[in-house]
Chain A
Amino acid sequence: MSSAIRIERSLDNSGLALLRALSARLGLRVRVDRYAATLAALSAVALGPMLQPGYFWGAHDARHAVYFLFEFDRVLRDGILYPRWFADMTYGYGYPLFNIYGPLAFYIGEFLHLLGADFVLAVKLVFGLAWIASGLAMYGLMKRVFANRAAGLLAGLLFVLMPYHLVDVYVRAAFAESVALVFIPLTLWAFYDTVTVGNRRSVLFAAFSYAGMVFAHNGIALLFSIVLAAWILFLLLRDERASGTPLLSPGAIPRLFRRALPTLGGLVLGLGLTGIFMLPLVAEYRYINVAQWTASYYSYQDHFIELFQLFSPVWGFGISNQGPVDGLSFQLGLVATVLALFALAGALRHPDARRGVLLFFAGLTLVVIVLMLEFSLPVWQAFGLASVAQFPWRLLTLTTASLSVLGGAVLLYESNPDEGPAAARFTRDASALIPLYSRGVNPPSVGRRPARGLGASSLSVIVLSLLAILGSWPYITAQNILEAKEGPVSIAGLMRFENSANEMTGTTVYADEQPRWSPLADNYIAGKNVRSKIDYSTVPDWLFIRIPRDGLKSNGERVDYNAPNGDVPIVFNVQMYPGWSAYLTEARSTQIVRKLDITTEPPYGRIKVTLPQGEHGVWLRFEDTPPRTAGTALTVVSLLLALGLAFWPRVASRIRRSARPRMPAPTPPQVFR
């Protein structure tokens, strides 16, 4: 053990010392968590393929990420701060993608793009940053729950290098999902705080991390909320039992409720923050043509996995198929699984507070594994799980997190050399390997006692980290392609992508059939500047239309017209969706005269407006519907509340008073007797 300290001290004396000296010069107080810094550095091995030129264009959703960001940027540049309508999707007919899709990853990507990164680089940067952050979040969770930084380092590394995490990035290129993975450990951490600490900081932490998860990926958030509920309930009941009062005594429920108050506060505030996204999503999802995304290939019954696939080393860049032969890996992560078994063996021998947490994650892992097997089909049918998870194997997101916690926990049971059988002594190997080190590397030192609570000696961390890295090393590959076959990222490239992949071609309920191409797309491909979305084939000869400069924006367009011969219907190449309104304006002005009725033109559900006789203007606008307005208001109010909570201590102290005083974190043994 003392050697471990020595190694750390020798680290202290090198680079970090320099860093400290520098920061002291600058008058900064820098606290570097060496384990976190090491984790971030080791996590970088996962990013290797991203440092190569090109991009993994062939990965399943790789082009989606880039072109979503491309569209996001176009809409944002039109001055719309919360984009909902993507005008260039569905061959230019448009689609309300971000009314139903979490925007967080794209805000980050757009920020990087505005700083100067091109779209592809921005996407790769977001992937990379999220990847590093996910490991650090796992580290934070472990450090908080187990007070063990070595276990945190190992768990973080396992999380980063878990096969499914690599699949998520390099095989599936699941952009939003990989950002959501940051929030799984983060949210578990935050709500651990609200239950065990319950101060205003923890409430804010919980609110923002939960909201962040929803904004990152509403599907994962919904799925994960079930786990989160179980986690909160588990923690509350655990501490309730630890307090010694029987659960069924009078007053227990109100007391439990009072204790749960910070947690509930965090949840409610978090949900409030997501109002701008969630309220319209819930209210207006029914106007989306969903069948397109749940039919045929997307039928979940065909995507259960075979048990052996969870342990199979097979790797690939193909897609999920019916039957046992899939093009991609659904491996649980053999390294983490093996380490988890050892950790559980350790946990079973040590009846302390840590055991409960580990058993929670073991139970979660088991349940999730069972749910991924065909055997569980009735459960899926009964609870409609498919609407949450899409495919059974996407539940691997959850095991990725839970097995990391369990695998990292192998370093928790290390300290006592007198412990019995080999399994429990498993990780002491490190202290055993140390003679090899201490002879050559470190000068002998006398009289230093090892610090307590550090967990494992450095060398076991080194060997186990090596295990985590080498166990995934062959999988850290991507199919990098220098130039996408759609050509450079552009509006023409977007059209080619939509056409070749039949993606980003969603329809609303107003459409009877899915467009396969459009006149707009022809113009984009030809490199023409599209200045209006009016379908001129519906315009009679005698109708004169004047298109003003900058009349067309992603959220609508305004034109002037002269219809001398009477009322005339015209069709816009825009797909109908709630929020689209048409107005009659004064000629050459934005002065609104009155609202015009909108009908739809089959088969694509395009917007049809009848222009009144005379010389006027018409203004088609994508506006906020009542749910959007209410949602935005809710978010703003929640933000103000959060700010209040942060900067107005009296509010916080009131919440703290209503909650029970803090429970001591390390609970005595025999909790579950």
Chain B
Amino acid sequence: MTRSAPVSPRPAPRSSPARPSPGLAEGLAVHPSVFVLLALTALAVAPLTAPGYFMLAHDARHTVYFMQMFDAALRAGALYPRWAADMVFGYGYPVWLILAPLPYYLAEAFHLTGLDFPSSIKAVEAVAWFGSALGMYLFARRLLGREGALVAAVAYVFVPYHVVDLYVRGAMAEFLAFVFPPLILLALYDLAAGPGRARAFVLAAAAYAALILTHISMAVLFSPVLFGFILVLHRWSPAHREGAPEEPGYGSSIVIPFLALASGLALSAVFLLPVVLEQRYLTSEPLIGGFFDFRLHFLNPSQLVSPLWGYGYAGINGTDQFSLQLGIVPLALAAFALLSLRRHTAARVPLLYLTLVLVVAVLAMFAFTTPLWELAAPVIAFAQFPWRLLFVTATALAVLAGVVVGLLPASDRLPGALLLSLLVALAMFPYVRPQYSDARFTWSTMMDFQVKDRELLGDTVWTDARPLDSPLVAQYRAGAITTKAVVTSGAGTVELVERGPLGDTVRVEAATPVRLMFYTRYFPGWTASVDGAPVAIAPEGEQGLIGLDVPQGSHVVVTRWGTTLPRVLGALVSLVTAAALVLVVASHGRLPAVLRRGRS
């Protein structure tokens, strides 16, 4: 590639320590600040150890029911479940076509050890608390040293939106997503210091893929930050770049970090490709229309500093019933950070960049930026709420809050950081409480949730109207499904032989040729066979259910949730990428030579 001669825009800093970037294990080596971090993070984890659950959190019940269906599909043999058979009153919905699966895989791992569904989810959330704390610690340590990293990591844990996401919104996936931004930033920072670092390359790819596979909206919102970070490090960070041991041939290639992110995209192809290619079969109105139109959810500036706390729902145009505060204490600390940026010679550019990110993300939450949003509306609309940018501000604000520690003389940094992290954590502690509840989750309560709360519903393009009920609801409540298909024309009887999350088997006694309709939504991927021979299926009725013709006589009709080309392709791309990354790690930590020739 071509690039201009390496010009230092600023004089060489007075102290530009050739800071060797320690590896992950070394980064977590026992240090008092790590203990303090874990202890303070435990304050945030504590509510998860209480019995029961917090069902009143906005999305808490959805998560458990998704988990319940995910587990059923997995046990039925789907390695990558996409069809949630019990949604929409039992008609089913391909929810994991659009919902990233990683949180559910993780929860499933805990479930397999014997935990029930709510406890598995809480276990993932506990891991996510610690993971986000340690991830931020590792990243901030590069910029601020251990002591500053302690304050940054504690600020990241106790930034209000982080707490809100779990204990008020119950948004497990979004909450888990907090783990990954610091890790990606860390990997990109290391890559910029020496793009030959294979482990950093793999970390960048894996963490970016994990973010995508955890919550696509968050990945969409955070990706611009990553692109900007790469560009900024490449262009303006002479101290950083010159401090790194120049490795001949590829010292400052900008291709490598972007390639790492691209690998992350490829790694998540199993999810991304079907999202892109098959989402058109779903009506997107329920996701981005009506109440979920992003134009209705811009913030009133005062909300960013308001002390309001609550467990209510999102409102329209600033009437939200829960806190959307930036984090008063981290904000105050970050204000001091701005005064002291000069001291951070080595990390000044990334810190200035994060300041910019903070400012832009804050501004983008206000209504006057609507025209900008409209520009990217087709994609960004799936973020639903502009205040989800608090996810972005959390990262930037947390790092900036840690900068203040650099003001202290070296010998005082540890106690100072200790005190400041206490301030950050304990000022937030009173809010670290969900609305505790019992945890009763059965198939029957799931139907109640759908019928009464009108949740877990979704439509395909073959649906004419959202249903209010289905013939299956009563069967769910009775505890046994007995009728899964009916004859819509012709004369015959249908008897259910076997029912599962991935398809049903029925026996048809047809006096005449009949049209059979399954109580299952038609969707690409469904196949059917009569006596083992594949037959064509088509959407049937106003609900767009599976319809097929059965000839006269006694037949066994089987439906199966199969696959499609985008899904197969996606899985292949993911597998190949994963294998390549494993090879990279195995190849003594060096990138293949073909990649290293970036500069020539």
On A, residues with C-beta under 8 Å from B are: 308, 311-315, 325, 334-335, 338, 417, 422, 425-429, 431-433, 435-436, 460, 463-464, 466-467, 470-475
Contact = CB atoms under 8 A, between A and B. Distances in A.
A209 B32 CA distance: 45
A422 B410 CA distance: 13
A326 to B, nearest CB: 12
Interface string B300-337: 00000001010000000000000000000100000010
Interface stretch (B174-182, B386-394, B429-437): B429-437
Nearest to A470: B427
B426 A428 contact: no
Given A335-B426, A428-B415, A466-B423, A474 B407 contact: no
Contacts of B422: 335, 338, 467
Contact of A429 (B50, B329, B415, B432): B415
B50 A308 contact: yes
Given A467-B419, A473-B307, A474-B430, 12 more contacts: A313-B430, A314-B436, A334-B43, A338-B426, A426-B418, A428-B415, A429-B416, A429-B419, A435-B407, A436-B340, A467-B426, A470-B426
B6 interface: no
Interface in B472-520: none
Contacts of B432: 313
A626 to B, nearest CB: 54
Interface in B421-466: 422-423, 426-427, 429-433, 436
A425 to B, nearest CB: 5
B412 interface: yes
B408 interface: yes
Of B340, B407, B414, B419, most A-chain CB atoms within 10 Å: B419
Nearest to A474: B430
Interface string B379-416: 00000000000000000000000000001110111111
A163 to B, nearest CB: 9
Interface in B165-197: none
B419 A463 contact: yes
14 contacts: A313-B432, A315-B433, A325-B436, A335-B422, A422-B414, A426-B418, A431-B412, A432-B408, A432-B409, A436-B336, A463-B420, A470-B329, A470-B426, A471-B426
Contact of B427 (A314, A436, A473): A473
B43 to A, nearest CB: 8
A429 B412 contact: yes
Nearest to B329: A470
A474 B431 CA distance: 8
6 closest cross-chain pairs (CB), A and B: A432-B412, A470-B427, A429-B416, A474-B430, A432-B408, A471-B426
A313 B409 contact: no
Interface of B: 32, 43, 46, 50, 307, 309, 329, 336, 339-340, 407-409, 411-416, 418-420, 422-423, 426-427, 429-433, 436
A427 B422 CA distance: 12
Of B32, B309, B407, B426, most A-chain CB atoms within 10 Å: B426
Contacts of B412: 425, 428-429, 431-433
Nearest to A410: B419
A432 B416 contact: yes
A599 B415 CA distance: 74
A474 B411 CA distance: 34
A335 B309 CA distance: 21
A311 B423 CA distance: 17
A463 B50 CA distance: 32
Contacts of B433: 312-315
B430 A315 contact: yes
B46 A311 contact: yes
Contacts of B409: 432, 435
A325 to B, nearest CB: 7
Given A426-B418, A436-B407, A463 B413 contact: no
A470 B423 contact: yes
B455 to A, nearest CB: 27
Given A432-B409, A470-B329, A475 B430 contact: yes
